[in-house]
Amino acid sequence: MSYLKNVQVEGKRLLMEAALNLAANTRSLDAFSLRELARNAGLNPNTFYRHFKDFDELGLAIIDEVTDQIRQPLRDLRREAAESVVPAGSPPISWQENPRLNFVRSLQVNNATVELFFAFVESNPEAFIVGVRELHGSSPVLRKALRKLMQGFAHDMAEDIEVLGLLPKLDPASLLSVSEAISREMFHLSMNYIEEPERRDEVCQQAVASIVNLTMGSAVIAGHVELLADALR
């Protein structure tokens, strides 16, 4: 990579970091001026337009980066957690064959997912503060992008639950609906995790309990009451 390219990449990085730091302490990404952003980034104000056409594009770049950093690792972790109970390559074991084993696998995946998610929140608090605010903020572009991000997480989750057999069989619409509910719950619990550090263990436990209630509740509604009863025996 050339020196000029390095400078351009670093300039973009500095602007994104300055925006997150400023927005985490104000109302939204558009609550501060370009001059203030540039000053906090240690750059000339004109540098902004070498990287972004406006603040919406800056916000989209931040959302894309968060997505790249956490989306695939969550999917990988679900698989690894499931395989820690039943190793990869083992013959598939259905819920009807061994409900207890599959329930344990589901809990293992839930715990691992929550742990990774909140570790990421702890490392990137500004991104989540800004994300929660912009989800209800003034920019329709960022609101749409954040809804799309959450829908993407939900689609990933629904697919992983189906492929890994983490729930008794649900119809696709019900599975996606419960995954969307979990995605929203995790996103909003991130603020409690950030703002109440003394309650972080409790927030993690609340997240795990919410996932169990939502997933197993959906299985009960789908008619798998006896199967889940067997899993808990």
1-52, CATH topology level: Arc Repressor Mutant, subunit A (1.10.10)
**Segment 76-98, tens digit of pLDDT:** 999 999 999 989 888 889 999 99
Domain-wise residue ranges, the chain: 1-52, 55-232
**Segment 137-169, tens digit of pLDDT:** 889 999 999 999 999 999 999 999 999 999 999
What's the chain's Rg over C-alpha atoms? 21
pTM over 0.85: yes
How sure is the predictor about 4, in pLDDT bands with cuts at 50, 70 and 90?
very low
- Judged on CB neighbours under 10 Å (0-12, 13-18, 19+), 162 is middle
Convert the chain into a string of H (helix), E (strand) and C (coil): CCHHHHHHHHHHHHHHHHHHHHHCCCCCHHHCCHHHHHHHHCCCHHHHHHHCCCHHHHHHHHHHHHHHHHHHHHHHHHHHHHHCCCCCCCCCCCCCCCHHHHHHHHHHHHHHHHHHHHHHHHHCHHHHHHHHHHHCCCCHHHHHHHHHHHHHHHHHHHHHHHHHCCCCCCCHHHHHHHHHHHHHHHHHHHHHHHHCHHHHHHHHHHHHHHHHHHHHHHHHHCCCHHHHHHHHC
Structure tokens at 8: 């351009």
CA pair distance 86, 108, nearest whole angstrom: 11
Q: Which CATH number fits domain 55-232: 3.30.590.20, 1.10.3720.10, 1.10.357.10, 3.30.450.70?
A: 1.10.357.10
Give yes or no on whether 1-52 and 55-232 have one common fold: no
- Of 212, 197, 232, nearest to 167 by C-alpha is 212
Is residue 219 pLDDT above 60, yes or no? yes
Is residue 29 pLDDT above 90, yes or no? no
Is residue 122 pLDDT above 90, yes or no? yes
